[in-house]
Copies of this chain bind each other. A is one copy, B any other.
């Protein structure tokens, strides 16, 4: 559930602009372990969404304005997890349906992703903070 945790972390950072938050503080908000949070932050940092710093007063902060970070950016940071999941066991027989299942799942997932993309791209962190948290 990295995407959900990542979104939570990003909202916490957006809600406290300019503040560097250590993983322990974020972990308390998320209800998770500091190491889990640091692992999630590693993905966010690799995607250039957050900036981290060690030492006293260190922690994570947004790499740019919450107005310029979208849910799509966060989704991508975790490898664009699939909206629709298949399963991965390859069947023994040469059954034609089995062979085609990955393609079918892929087709559906791509179709949904294509429709979802504008929604995710059009939703900024700032909008979520304004419309869902400060309200």
Q: Contact mask A83-119 → B, CB, 8 Å, 1/0?
A: 1111101111101111011011101100110011011
Copies of this chain in its oligomeric complex: 2
Measuring CB to CB, which residues of chain A are less than 8 angstroms from any residue of chain B? 1, 3-5, 7-8, 11-12, 15, 28-32, 71, 83-87, 89-93, 95-98, 100-101, 103-105, 107-108, 111-112, 115-116, 118-120, 123, 128, 132-133
Q: For chain A, what secondary structure do more than half of its interface residues adopt (helix, strand, loop), or is it mixed?
A: helix
Residue in B11, B93, B118, B123 whose CB lies within 8 Å of A101: B11
Closest to A13 in B: B97
A95 and B5 within 8 A (CB): no
B93 and A7 within 8 A (CB): no
